[in-house]
Structure 1
Amino acid sequence: MSSATSRPSSAVSGRQARWQPHNDSRRERIVLSAIELLEQSPAGVEVPIVQIAEHAGLAKSVVYRQFAGRDELDRRIRSEIADRFVADIEDALDIGEGSIHEILVRTVGGVVTWIQEHPRLHDFLRTGPSEAGSDIDAMSELIGTIAASTRTLVTGLAGVVGVADDGSADAMTFAIVSMTEATVTRWANDPNPVLTRSQLIEEVASYAWHVVDGVARRHGLTLDPEQQLTSVITQLATGGG
């Protein structure tokens, strides 16, 4: 009796496993199609599901089989957008190449480029969460994610030079990331910005540097913004700073 009832259950599980890659592929096609259409759409205009389905080469019913509804689809779209943003910024944050100043300029430049090139995606992150059950919009979640990633980097470097984490890294990284995003967004939305793109990047990078420098000095560290960061770390770790 038990073996007879277990076979149908295992058969269902087997079919689900075989179909999973196919369903994953369809979900990815739908999300990527939605993002492509979103980038092409005017500000504030919602892309209809039927249009997304057509762009993906699928029937509308397939979209509803893959996603419980518009809300779930939109969350998945925001999650994909946020992942792309984070990947670009983390590439710019590579500490293995460049001075502190160069890394800051490169990272701020990455934020400016992304927001300039993807204004609709950037706006869409503010329209709701990327996680089910979350009350925080995806842009706020993204800022927290980048700040956490940067904080891990900073606390790791602090450990190398023997500085205990007193919570400064958390406040510092969140302040820099949120300030950068807000300042760049304001500039990007200004039809007649006072600063040029290069001026904005240098200005925001300088703000970030002053925050970093202030926190470092409170911990008894003197940093040279023009020296290669890897060299700075080596000097500080060996007591030569």
Structure 2
Amino acid sequence: MTGATRVGCVPLPRIDGRAVRWDEHRAERRLLVLDAAVAAIEEAPPGAEINLQQIADAAGLVRTVLYRHFEGRAGLQRAVRGHIVSMIADAVILNITLEGSIDEIIDRALRGFVGWVDEHANLYVWGERELGDGQESQLLALTQSIADQISAVIGFAAQALGREFDDEEQAAIELLTFGIIGQVRGTVSSWVRRAERAPGVDALVAMLHRSMWLQIDDQARMFGFELDPTVPVMDLFAATAVQD
């Protein structure tokens, strides 16, 4: 039974315990289905289609329950892709920090991404597929989110080094950053689909690393910075603070 409790003169709604338990049950069921879908995709041959019955069987549920929790086939497909994209995000975003040198930061982020794709190739390819439902690609949204985060880090680093970008410069940095991230994603997307995945992970990371650094170095020089990729970033900030 629902009602209201008063705190002073303000009525507070009473929480319906049954509704809370049902919400928790739905969340648990959704996660069970998403994990089952991920397992089914991982175990399938590359490029194989995964149907709803396979996911239902893996989750130990009937198909009608899947529809009930995901508003139909399209809703389930989008939820599964969102789940996969969140796994990719965990592998990448957690590695984008200012710890270590520029070389170490680039290497850490690339190894997190390429390593995850190499280990979960089926998931990555499945997560890249467009649904055709008119909504934004979840992987594209993640690419934009990562680019925005890196652009913010660049802006912070520039301020720490005594340089503040104007609006036009910041807009250019955001576009260039998105382009670099998109280039990495496009290269890895092509690589993971090769019958023989060559070059290997280490060689691919090294190739992408060099490409990223050359672009970063070129743009930094345009803005008046000469960066040493081997020096810890925090040491660069400390040296600038001492000079000031």
TM-score, scaled to structure 1: 0.84
The answer for the alignment partner of 1:225 in structure 2 is 229
Summarize the alignment of residues 32-47 of structure 1 with structure 2, pairs less than 5 Å apart: 32-47=35-50
Write the letter of the residue equivalent to 1:113.
Answer: G
The structural deviation recorded for 1:189 is 2.6
Summarize the alignment of residues 191-230 of structure 1 with structure 2, pairs less than 5 Å apart: 191-192=195-196, 195-230=199-234
The answer for the alignment partner of 1:113 in structure 2 is 115
The structural deviation recorded for 1:129 is 5.4
Does residue 51 of the first structure (1) align with residue 45 of the second (2)?
no
Return 162-171 or 31-40, whichever deviates more. Answer: 162-171
The structural deviation recorded for 1:231 is 0.9
The answer for the alignment partner of 1:122 in structure 2 is 124
Does residue 161 of the first structure (1) align with residue 161 of the second (2)?
yes
The answer for the alignment partner of 2:183 in structure 1 is 179
Return 40-49 or 221-230, whichever deviates more. Answer: 40-49
The structural deviation recorded for 1:43 is 3.0
Gap runs ≥5 in structure 2? 4-12
The answer for the alignment partner of 2:6 in structure 1 is none
The structural deviation recorded for 1:215 is 1.5
The answer for the alignment partner of 1:6 in structure 2 is none
- SS of 1:222's equivalent in the other structure is coil
The answer for the alignment partner of 2:104 in structure 1 is 102
The structural deviation recorded for 1:12 is 11
Write the letter of the residue equivalent to 1:189.
Answer: R
The structural deviation recorded for 1:238 is 4.4
> What is the aligned-residue RMSD (CA, Å)?
2.6
The answer for the alignment partner of 1:90 in structure 2 is 93
The verdict on how the C-alpha distance between 1:50 and 1:186 changes in structure 2, with shifts beyond 3 A counting, is closer
- SS of 1:92's equivalent in the other structure is coil
The structural deviation recorded for 1:234 is 2.4
Preserved contact between residue 33 and residue 55 of structure 2 (Cα < 8 Å)? yes
The verdict on how the C-alpha distance between 1:193 and 1:18 changes in structure 2, with shifts beyond 3 A counting, is closer
Q: Structure 1 CA distance, aligned partners of 2:191 and 2:230?
A: 27
Write the letter of the residue equivalent to 1:42.
Answer: P
Preserved contact between residue 147 and residue 177 of structure 2 (Cα < 8 Å)? yes
Q: Structure 1 CA distance, aligned partners of 2:51 and 2:198?
A: 37
Query: Could you give the per-residue CA deviations for residues 19-48 of structure 1, whole angstroms, max 9, x where no partner exists?
Result: 101111101111111111111112333222
The verdict on how the C-alpha distance between 1:228 and 1:202 changes in structure 2, with shifts beyond 3 A counting, is same
The verdict on how the C-alpha distance between 1:59 and 1:196 changes in structure 2, with shifts beyond 3 A counting, is closer
Q: Structure 2 CA distance, aligned partners of 1:169 and 1:207?
A: 17
Q: Structure 2 CA distance, aligned partners of 1:129 and 1:156?
A: 37
The answer for the alignment partner of 2:141 in structure 1 is 141
- SS of 1:142's equivalent in the other structure is helix
Matched pairs, number: 229
Write the letter of the residue equivalent to 1:38.
Answer: I
The verdict on how the C-alpha distance between 1:161 and 1:129 changes in structure 2, with shifts beyond 3 A counting, is farther
Preserved contact between residue 158 and residue 164 of structure 2 (Cα < 8 Å)? yes
Write the letter of the residue equivalent to 1:85.
Answer: I
The answer for the alignment partner of 1:7 in structure 2 is none
Write the letter of the residue equivalent to 1:164.
Answer: E
The structural deviation recorded for 1:192 is 4.7
Q: Percent identity?
A: 27
Residue among 170, 175, 187 paired with 2:174: 170
Q: Structure 1 CA distance, aligned partners of 2:21 and 2:197?
A: 54
